[in-house]
Amino acid sequence: MSTIEDVAKLAGLSRTTVSRVLNNHPYVSEEKRKLVIEAMEHLGYVPNSSARSLRNRKTGIIAVLIPKISTPFFSQLIERLEIAASEKNYQLIICQTQYSDKKERTYLDLLKTKQVDGVIMTSCENDWKIIDAHLDYGPIVLCNEIIENVEVPMVFMNQMKSGYTIAKHLIESGHRKIAYCTNGTDKVTLQARETGFKRALAEAGLSIHREDYFQHVSSISDGKNIFHQLYHNCNSPTAIFTGSDSVAAGIISEAKRHGWVIPQDLAVVGFDNMEITELMDPMITTVIQPVETMAAKAIDVIVDKIHKKQYRSRETHEFTATLAIRESTLVNSKLVATS
């Protein structure tokens, strides 16, 4: 492993000059620059990033905290974050919290130990008081998560609009008894979605019946279970918003096995535009999240914060989803922006 010193010696110059060439500083004569470059090539010199990090007080690494990588939405998000980061010459460390507050805290410490320049959180398991303390050490950006009254940038999709648009679509398709699924009401994002959904219903003089409201629903098997509840309900709804493509697929798959015809017997709406939505028969009406745009913005914002060295500031960066209307709610499919 050759060092900057070796290069300097071989070129017959000082470490400073070599460093200047390395960092494209002005005030280096063409002549010496060539000498340095030759020496570097001859030695196969590459700067040591630990030394640079120590000296410059920056690592060029961003940590991404994510509950579970293999969840299709999250893997798409990571994919886009990686692309955006690499365009700005940042590396991404991937940290799987597995929805554990303890792991989340451990990973946030990467900021304290200066192993990373910033953290992107795609969900939040701890009390904000705990997270907030970490802002003394570096920037934190929320991507795909909203928390009220906190001083960090947040990048997210307007869930209220998408909830509203979905309900509106179902109402316009003639449905009057509509079921709703959610994975919880503790997240601001999910609350907003529900609020938008209910608003559209209210505007049409409708509401969600008690027996048509399902909580803590997220997997394929949850979907299958829900179908069975509907199946045994003599006054079952004519449409259901599932909040998740997996749940939608589970419901549809089970419904078909029991002889139901979708959407005639039950219209189904998913969420996230996973691959299955176009593979199922019928293809599933779903919400396309602007993953690429959100990822690019999150990286933009955090890189900006890193440079400005100003970590506390409330900013909201809001994007709009698209409703992809497919066979599970209609015969003819089309695209509709939720705006």
Partner DNA sequence: GTGAAAGCGCTAACAT
Partner DNA sequence: ATGTTAGCGCTTTCAC
Binding site for DNA (CB under 7 A): 1, 3-5, 12-17, 19-20, 22-23, 26-29, 31-32, 47-48, 51-52, 54-56
Cβ-based nearer residue to DNA, 23 or 229: 23
Strand-strand pairing, 322-325 and 334-337: antiparallel
* Interaction between residue 250 and a copy of itself (CB under 8 A): yes
Selection from a copy of itself, DNA, none that 42 binds (CB < 5 to 8 A by kind) is: none
Q: How far is the CB of 29 from a copy of itself (least distance, A)?
A: 27
Task: Give me the sign of the Cα torsion angle 206, 209, 212, 214.
Answer: positive
Q: Which stretch binds a copy of itself (CB under 8 A): 149-157, 199-207, 249-257, 297-305?
A: 249-257
Cβ-based nearer residue to DNA, 16 or 229: 16
Cβ-based nearer residue to DNA, 47 or 290: 47
Selection from a copy of itself, DNA, none that 17 binds (CB < 5 to 8 A by kind) is: DNA
Selection from DNA, a copy of itself, none that 15 binds (CB < 5 to 8 A by kind) is: DNA
Amino acid at 266: L
- Using CB under 8 A, count the residues that bind a copy of itself: 49
Selection from DNA, a copy of itself, none that 220 binds (CB < 5 to 8 A by kind) is: a copy of itself
Q: How far is the CB of 34 from DNA (least distance, A)?
A: 10
Q: Residue 127: name the closest of 97, 104, 157 by CA.
A: 104
- Determine the Cα–Cα distance for residues 208 and 240; give it in Å rounded to an integer: 10
Cβ-based nearer residue to a copy of itself, 116 or 200: 116
* Interaction between residue 113 and a copy of itself (CB under 8 A): yes
* Interaction between residue 5 and a copy of itself (CB under 8 A): no
Phi, psi of 225 (to 5 degrees): -60, -45
Q: Cβ–Cβ contacts within 10 Å for residue 4, how many?
A: 20
Question: What binding mask, one character per residue, do residues 203-242 give for a copy of itself by CB under 8 A, x or -?
Answer: -----------------x----------------------
Q: For the chain, where are the alpha helices, taking DSSP H only?
A: 4-11, 15-22, 30-43, 49-56, 72-87, 101-112, 128-133, 159-172, 188-203, 220-231, 245-257, 276-279, 291-308
- Determine the Cα–Cα distance for residues 255 and 230; give it in Å rounded to an integer: 10
* Interaction between residue 37 and a copy of itself (CB under 8 A): no
Q: Residue 244: name the closest of 268, 211, 278 by CA.
A: 268
- Determine the Cα–Cα distance for residues 200 and 207; give it in Å rounded to an integer: 9
Q: Residue 270: name the closest of 251, 296, 244, 240 by CA.
A: 244
* Interaction between residue 112 and a copy of itself (CB under 8 A): yes
Contacts of residue 307, defined as CB under 8 A and 6 or more positions apart, other chains included, come to none
| Residues near a copy of itself (CB under 8 A) | 1, 46-51, 53-54, 57, 59, 61, 68-70, 72, 75-76, 78-79, 82-83, 86, 91-96, 109-110, 112-115, 137, 220, 246, 249-250, 253, 256-257, 275-276, 278-281
